[in-house]
Structure 1
Amino acid sequence: MTNSLLPPSTTPLERDVEQATDRTVEVPFDALWDANRIPAHLLPWLAWALGVRQWSDAWSEQRKRDEVAAALTIRRHAGTLGALRQVINTQGVDGADIAEWFDYAGQPGHFRLVLDLDGVGISQKSYDELITGINRAKRLSAHFDPTQISTTARGNIRLGAGKLASTTITLTPYRLRQLAVPGPTTIGTGQHGSSNTTLYPG
């Protein structure tokens, strides 16, 4: 073996064991501690080395790299508002922020998570991971108040108006109550006659 680290006095058995357990990985040494350059299959080991306390194999590769890249910043600033916001940014929850007690007239030393979902939504699993990350990054003397969740519904508003009017008219025949005809009284006679004529075509 050209890459063997065993001394010349190594027995054949030791060399066979070395060959059987060889897991040489061609990785540039300057990339082993870089979360953006290290091979994906080595990310869990770098996360362990940097003290990442929250990890899931189900995360996307980019999410894993973001967690590892933010690990030192979160540990250095643990207990501060900046560390809590770094946790939120790492997990990629849009519309999330931290409000301290004086922002909402709460009790001193308290804080809460503010979620403005704005029609996007968040799964229960993502929410639980977010709360777990915040609890690990907050200071021990800080108390977590219930989360404030708000959302904005957007849509088209249609307004309509109508008017209904009617008129009822009652028609009654005119009744002559009294007819007075001034003048002299005249008496007359008359005769009416009629005849029927039938025409037939020729």
Structure 2
Amino acid sequence: MTIDGIRLLELLPEFMRGDVTARAYAAALDGLLSYAGAGSARIDLSALDELPERVLDSLAWQNMITWYDYRASIEVKRALIRNAGAVHALRGTPRAVQQVMSDMLGNTARLTEWYDYGGEPYHFRAVSGGEIIGAQERTRLLAAIDEVKNVRSVMDEIIWAFVGEGTGYIAAGAQLALRLEGEGEVI
């Protein structure tokens, strides 16, 4: 059965099928649903990387991706849509926050729970290794995090961690002193 072939009258429980009012509502809704479905285009999400930005924005709205950033780059928009199903399923968990942060910042984000750093109960902090973002991007990131985090949880801070490469030199030295004490003859 496809969504196009659904008739609400067939979905009514047996005891409601005899009710004239229920049958009228089902018939009216059948007409509305067929009208709504007639104009909707089929979008292949496996071709997400080829879709234009206006289609991405429309997909985000249709799929109720409330953490979607309409001002983000097209790469970020694609990542947010690509992982929206997982985020919807995990909403309210640390994993959802990590995924949204990773999508928006373009790198892997980690969360540290309050008991790991001595914070207040239900608080957490985020650690990201990406480039530092501006005030407007930070505001949009915090709004997106607020959409997917647990309602009672409070984010204390975002920590930016950097890994650098370079050559370091360490000099080491040792001094050995030997002192013998004793009485008697030395042979």
TM category (shorter chain) comes to: 0.5 to 0.7
1:71, distance to aligned residue in structure 2 (A): 2.1
Pick one of 137, 158, 164 that aligns with 2:148: 137
Q: What are the Cα deviations for residues 153-201 of structure 1, in whole angstroms up to 9, with x where unaligned? A: 54445789xxxxxxxxxxxxxxxxxxxxxxxxxxxxxxxxxxxxxxxxx
> What is the CA–CA distance in structure 2 between the aligned matches of 1:33 and 1:115, rounded to whole Å?
28
SS at match of 2:48: coil
Secondary structure, aligned partner of 1:106: coil
Q: Tell me the equivalent position of 1:59.
A: 73
Unmatched segments (≥5 aa) in structure 1: 1-27, 161-202
Q: Is the 8 A contact 2:48 2:78 kept in 1?
A: yes
Of Structure 1 and Structure 2, the greater helix share is in 2
Match status 1:107 vs 2:128? no
Task: Please list the CA deviations of residues 120-170 of structure 1 after superposition, one character each: whole Å capped at 9, or x if unmatched.
Answer: x3221443333222111101110111233333454445789xxxxxxxxxx
Taking structure 1 as the reference length, what is the TM-score of the superposition? 0.52
Task: Please say which structure displays the higher CA radius of gyration.
Answer: 1
In the other structure, the counterpart of 2:177 is none
Hey, which bits of structure 1, 4+ residues long, moved more than 6 A?
A: none
SS in 2 for 1:139: coil
Contact 2:102–2:108 (CA<8 Å) still a contact in 1? no
Conserved in 1, the CA contact under 8 Å of 2:98 and 2:108?
A: no
Matched AA of 2:114:
W
- Partner residue of 1:123? 133
**Residue in structure 1 matching 2:48, options 13, 32, 36:** 36
Query: Matches of 1:47 and 1:79 in 2, distance apart?
Result: 19
Equivalent-residue separation in structure 2 for 1:133 and 1:37 (angstroms):
22
Identity of counterpart residues, as a percentage?
24
Aligned CA distance change for structure 1 residues 150 and 129 (closer, same or farther; 3 Å): same
1:36 is paired with a residue of what secondary structure? helix
Note the C-alpha offset of 1:74: 1.5
Query: Hey, what's the Cα distance between the residues in 1 that align with 2:116 and 2:83?
Result: 27
Across the aligned residues of Structure 1 and Structure 2, the Cα RMSD in angstroms comes to 3.2
Counterpart-to-counterpart distance in 2, 1:35 and 1:129: 27
Aligned to 1:19: none
Task: Find the partner of 2:87 among 74, 86, 89.
Answer: 74
Q: Which runs of 5+ in 2 are unaligned?
A: 1-39, 172-187
In the superposition, the TM-score normalised over structure 2's length comes to: 0.56
